[in-house]
Amino acid sequence: MAQLTLEKLNKRYGDAAQVIKAIDLQVNSGEFVVIVGPSGCGKSTLLRMIAGLEDISGGNMYIDGTRVNDDTPSERGIGMVFQSYALYPHMSVYENMAFGLQLAKLPKDEIARRVEQSARILQLEPLLQRRPKDLSGGQRQRVAIGRAIAREPKLFLFDEPLSNLDAALRVQMRMEIAALHRRLKSTIIYVTHDQVEAMTLAQRIVVLNRGNVEQVGTPLELYDHPANEFVAQFIGSPKMNLLPGTLVSSGDTESVVRLWHGKQLTVPIATPASAEGTKVKLGIRPEHIEWGTVADAPYLADVLFVEHMGNETYHYLDSGKLGEPWVVRNSRRSDIAAGETVGYSLPPEHCHLFDESGKAFARRAVGNGASCLPGMDAPPITFAEPARTNVMH
Ligand SMILES: Nc1ncnc2c1ncn2[C@@H]1O[C@H](COP(=O)(O)OP(=O)(O)OP(=O)(O)O)[C@@H](O)[C@H]1O
């Protein structure tokens, strides 16, 4: 178990643009941290810098308080698992797991003890004499993890370890990695572009974008309180809907937004007076949009298309000239079809608000006190199914 501290860490490949930009991060001893972000944002570069496989262009890196910028990978005491498994094809599973320990000149019986223990943890014992080509993808990945465990590292680094596996195996391996962390209580830094993997595995998630840390927090902190539009749309699937509007009235406890179509909505979010009159975006997650009757609902929309997931249904609503459709997630089956018109409402307590630069205005926790929408007779209402009309408006 080790604590890792990154202090203004920078990376530039030759004369190219900076890839990692002054990253500050502390990973606590025994913590499972997932670094997530879109392709090319610098995840692998950051992980390889931590491993000692890439030079650090600027800043400092500490393991348990000791500066390790110039230490070799083996001096850092790190075990790394790669997406490609990186197994030696001509060696057996046992030899693959023992090889690094032999290079480190450990005594033979110590090597045997460690390999056997790792094999037991990962249920690899029956496979120890096989070659990698005689293993399934999941088994190969388990060998790669076993090889890292056998090194008894202070810190585990995983670089997209499940990317080459099929969906069912990914779920199984995810559970195995989570169980492994509970058992070993080791410090793990895990890179993925898959936000479901991040949400399910992480104690804390680091959202990386273009070499910058956008936000660090527990999965639910990021989901419920995204710091900006990028995090709001990156975490959660389908992604959060963003509706353009103007802030017409600010306040310490609530604010009024005029949405793009002229209707106003009061949300329990504090905004400064200086923001009045500026453009904002109202964010709402697909599961928080509520269906109402066409007659009473504050908003109407045409259904563009429907996705039936079996346990839930996604309706994509026409957002008109705004471009991308809104997504509504219904936790039950629905026979509402494309081309129908539905009524919906936006419960203020579930709304997020972002300023012109994309930064979130802080939300306060609210109970059931959803405020009425100005200009409406009644607060938002909910029905299990949207009332429908076949008349297009
Ligand atoms: N050896 C290199 N030389 C020059 N540029 C590089 C090198 N390795 C990576 N880059 C660039 O650095 C940026 C970050 O790459 P990196 O592989 O760290 O991203 P990533 O987030 O891991 O992406 P992915 O999810 O696609 O693997 C990219 O623009 C990439 O082109």
Q: Cβ distance 132 to 144 under 8 Å?
A: no
Q: Please name the fold of domain 4-232.
A: Rossmann fold (3.40.50)
Query: How confident is the model at residue 363, as a pLDDT?
Result: 78
Probe ligand 1: pick from 34, 45, 83, 158, max atoms within 8 Å of CB? 45
Q: ipTM score here?
A: 0.97
> Ligand 1, atom 3: nearest CA belongs to which residue?
13
Q: Cβ distance 219 to 198 under 8 Å?
A: yes
**Please, is 58 exposed, middle or buried when counting C-beta atoms within 10 Å of its C-beta (0-12, 13-18, 19+)?**
middle
Query: How confident is the model at residue 331, as a pLDDT?
Result: 86
Q: Which architecture does CATH list for 239-389?
A: Beta Barrel (2.40)
Confidence check: pLDDT of 112 > 70: yes
Query: How confident is the model at residue 292, as a pLDDT?
Result: 65
Per-residue pLDDT, averaged over 22-28, amounts to: 97
Confidence check: pLDDT of 78 > 80: yes
For residue 332, the number of C-alpha atoms closer than 13 Å in the C-beta half-sphere is: 8
Query: How confident is the model at residue 364, as a pLDDT?
Result: 66
The secondary element (H helix, E strand) that includes residue 79 is strand 78-81
Q: Cβ distance 169 to 134 under 8 Å?
A: no
Distance of CA 294 to the CA centre of its chain: 36
Per-residue pLDDT, averaged over 262-269, amounts to: 93
Confidence check: pLDDT of 121 > 70: yes
Say which DSSP state 135 is in: S
151-160, 305-314, 382-391: least confident range? 382-391
Percent of the chain with pLDDT over 70: 92
Ligand 1 shell residues, CB under 6 Å: 13, 16, 19, 37, 39-45, 193
How far CA 307 is from CA of 175, 332, 334, 335, in Å, comes to 28, 12, 10, 11
Query: How confident is the model at residue 365, as a pLDDT?
Result: 55
Three-state SS at 382 = coil
Q: What is the average pLDDT score of the chain?
A: 88
Q: Where residue 165 falls among pLDDT bands split at 50, 70, 90?
A: confident
Three-state SS at 54 = coil
Asked whether the bond before 238 is cis by omega within 30 degrees of 0, the reply is yes
The secondary element (H helix, E strand) that includes residue 155 is strand 155-159
Cite the residue boundaries of each domain of the chain with CATH code 2.40.50.100.
239-389
Query: How confident is the model at residue 155, as a pLDDT?
Result: 92
Ligand 1: centre distance to CA 43 (Å):
8
> Ligand 1, atom 7: nearest CA belongs to which residue?
13
Percentages helix, strand, coil for the chain (3-state, rounded to 5) are 25, 30, 40
42 CA closest ligand 1 atom index: 18
Cite the residue boundaries of each domain of the chain with CATH code 3.40.50.300.
4-232
Of 201, 191, 192, 287, which Cα lies nearest the Cα of 237? 287
Per-residue pLDDT, averaged over 230-237, amounts to: 95
